[in-house]
């Protein structure tokens, strides 16, 4: 599984789409909440920022993703 960073995704959007996405108040609040969660991982284990990982987790849960069922 390859990872995709946020800048790569944002590069594919138009300027108007990028502004709309980044100015969404709901997204800003969610990121702000995740930003204050302490990261228990060792420095060596930090490949991705914790707020990004938590946002991905919430998105997967909202999409009813179940990794226990093979695709």
- Tell me which residue of 51, 9, 57, 48 sits closest to 65, measured CA to CA: 57
User: The whole model's pTM is what?
Assistant: 0.52
Tokens 């946020």 sit at which residue?
6
pLDDT digits (tens, 9 = 90+) for 29-66: 787 788 888 888 888 877 889 888 998 888 888 888 77
**Residues 5, 55: Cα–Cα separation, whole Å:** 13
Q: What is the pLDDT of residue 3?
A: 45
């Amino acid at each position: 599984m390859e990872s995709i960073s946020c800048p790569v995704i944002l590069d594919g959007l138009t300027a108007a789409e990028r502004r709309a996405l980044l100015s969404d108040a709901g997204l800003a609040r969610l990121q702000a909440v995740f930003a204050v969660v302490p990261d228990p991982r060792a420095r060596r284990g930090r490949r991705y920022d914790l707020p990004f990982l938590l946002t991905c987790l919430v998105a997967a849960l909202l999409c009813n993703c179940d990794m226990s069922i093979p695709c």
